[in-house]
Each structure stands twice: as C-alpha cells, then as structure tokens.
Amino acid sequence: MRTTRASNFLYLVMGALSVAIVAGVLVASGAFDRTDAGAQSSTATATATPTASPSRSSASSAAVPTDVSDIYRRVSPGVAYIAVTNAKGRASGSGWVYDSDGTIVTNDHVVEGARHVSVRFSENGDPIDAQVVGADPSTDIAVLKIDPSKVKGGIKPLQLADSGKIEPGQPAIAIGSPFGLQGTVTSGIVSALGREIQAPNGFTISGVIQTDAAINPGNSGGPLLDDTGRVIGINSQIATNGSDSNSGVGFAVPIDTVKQVVPQIKADGKIDRAWLGVSTSDAAPRDGAVVQQVQGAPAERAGLKPGDIIVSFDGRSIATASDLGQAVLTRKPGDTVKVVVQRNGSRETLDVTLGTRPNEAQQG
C-alpha cells in the first residue's frame, strides 16, 4: 500500500511481519506478507536483572545523554521473541510483557491465523506456550497470555509512558527480533507524531509515531521506548522504496492506544468499534478533516456530505483527519455525538448516532 504523504512512492510494509523460518528470500510487496525469511541468531541476549527506571526532570533530560546500554539491560528481559505456526508454516515476531499476570502485547499481524504460539525471553531460554487471548485488527494489537511462573527469573513487565508527553526529536529506542535476531537494540529519535498507517483490516490507524530507529521485519510487536526505558509505542510498520529493509521511516502504534485496547481485549477477546462511516483527508492549510466519501449509514443518516470539513467532533476540536480518527475511537457504537462541519461558508451542527465498524474497510 502506498503512503499518501510520500513523495517517492514509499510502500508501507509490516516492520516485523512474521519472519518465515523456512523461506530464503525476502518479499518486498508493500503488503502484509507473512513469508519473509528470518535469519538465525547466535548472539547471546543480555539477561541482567532490571533495576528501577531513573527519575529525571524535563530540565535535566537534555543535559544527560541517553544510556542505551543501561536501558537495554533493564528492559530486554521483558521483551519476547514470538514463534508462530500457521497455515503457511512457521513465522516469528516480537512482543513485550504488559502485566505481571502474564499478559504479552504484540501486533495482530504477527499472530493472525496462528495455530500455535510460543514466546522466549532469551536466546537460550525455553519456549513458553502462549494463548492468543484476542486481537483488534483495527489497531493491529493482539494480546497473548502465558503462565508467569514458567519465566525463569520472574516475569518483567515494562513501564508505560504517556503519549501526550511525546515530542518530535526525543530519543527513541527499539528492541526486538529483526530477521529472527533476538535481543537486537537500535536507537534514533521520534521523527514525527500524528502519522496514519493502514491496519490489517484496511482501516486507518491514527496518531501513529514515526521514528528513524532501525525497524525491520521481525521487529513487529516489539516496544519503542523513551530515554528512561518506558514504552511509547508498538513497532508495527516500515516505509520502503522497493526493498523490505529499513529506510529510516518506521511507525509505532502509540502507547495510549495500547492502554485503551488491551484491557478490552483481555475482558472480551475483541473490540466492537464505533464507526462514523466517512473517509477523510486533511483540510490543510486550514484545520479540519475533509469528507472525501460517505461510506456508511451513520454519516448518511446524519446528512454528512463529501466536501464537508469536520471541525469538531463531540466537543473536541479537529485539526486533522488523524484527530478525527482518534476522537471516534474514544466513543462506542450507539453513542450519539454532535459533529460540527464547515459547509458552503457556514457552520452546521449534525447529530450522528455512531454505528459498529465492519470487519474490513470498504475499498474504492
């Protein structure tokens, strides 16, 4: 799939698309391909016991260089290599410990169609069987469950950051298993915020973090960390220009989305998402989300029309299409909200009763 903002026809591919153990050739198709070949690693992973994250003020953070080796030492015991058996063979990806009860977070596309899943916390560690609790294809998030008593040395949940405090230019650190090389750490910065990528079911994931930390096939589902070792997102996709390796443009689903999604999956195994029923684009240089197509009953019944510029949703100002996508995610099917649109030079307020998002996005 082509990115809508790329000037050189970049293709989005899964950054850690399950790496097929038996394949020998990497496929760069710009799609959710589960047959990428994975390299076998013989490098040992650090297994030192984590210590508490150092506290720091924003004033001092600029003066203290990020110690990536310290972060790796503390955090890597909570990052998992995920092995999957599905109808196409064997594949792999990354994941991380969300909770001390044995909850593991990864990408939906890593475990989609899995017949058997296991996790491993060090290269020499024993595989631990994992149950797929459920998934949300609309955000590309999946939840696994393991028996925490089977983790040698004890299970190590990672600390979570706050998406609202992330800024472009701040350090970003990725840990995962690119090409099957477990325990690989790379670093860079947060390149941009508020990006959009396409989910496995064709819907748009909004509010995405862009980073230049190297992310490759096998990193999917692994954590993107800040300079204290807290998780700021799940590494999910990369942009390419003809190959399937890192080009300095990677994308991570933000941690606040994870915080919203994981408890719902743990409770119900899935999420019924609210649906407005429109496709939109930015209204730049002005604020708002331009309605490109009306695709469903909620928008049709409310009277939304192509060309409308949505400037407010449920009392929340809308500056971009990404803002609108994030705002809809905060509501539930059946909720009635007020949507303010700019139409023919004047503003109108429409009452919209949100529907339930279909399993896959409409094409065209």
Domain extent listing, the chain: 11-44+68-264, 274-356
Among this protein's residues, is 220 annotated catalytic? Answer: yes
- Tokens for 204, please give them: 């748009």
Among the options 108, 140, 226, 308, which is catalytic?
140
* Closest C-alpha to 170, from 210, 223, 220: 210
- Rounded to an integer, what is the distance from CA 200 to the centroid of its chain? 11
Residues with Cβ within 8 Å of 169's Cβ and at least 6 positions away in sequence, in order, are: 189, 190
**Does residue 319 register a pLDDT over 70?**
yes
User: Which of 138, 220, 247, 322 is labelled catalytic?
Assistant: 220
Over range 246-262, report the average pLDDT. Answer: 93
Give catalytic status of residue 116 as yes or no. Answer: no
109 is catalytic: yes
Regarding the domain delimited by 11-44+68-264, which CATH topology (the fold level of the hierarchy) does it fall under? Answer: Thrombin, subunit H (2.40.10)
Q: Is the pLDDT of residue 198 over 50?
A: yes
Query: Given the DSSP bridges, would you call strands 278-282 and 274-275 parallel, antiparallel or unpaired?
Result: unpaired
DSSP state of 102: S
- Residues pairing with 190 in the sheet: 211
Quote the pTM value.
Answer: 0.75
Is the pLDDT reported for residue 19 higher than 50?
no
Q: Is the pLDDT of residue 44 over 60?
A: no
Which of these, 16, 51, 333, 322, lies nearest to 182 by C-alpha position?
16
Least confident span in 243-257, 303-317, 335-349? 243-257
CATH number of 274-356, picked from 2.60.120.200, 2.60.120.280, 2.60.120.10, 2.30.42.10? 2.30.42.10
The pLDDT tens digits for 340-358 are 999 998 999 999 999 998 8
pLDDT of residue 40 exceeding 60: no
pLDDT confidence of residue 261:
94
Q: What is the mean pLDDT of residues 176-195?
A: 95
Confidence category of residue 2, pLDDT binned at 50, 70, 90:
very low
One of 109, 136, 226, 256 is an active-site residue; which one? 109
Residue 204 has pLDDT above 90, yes or no: no
Nearest-angstrom CA–CA distance, 118 and 111? 10
- Is 274-356 the same fold as 11-44+68-264? no
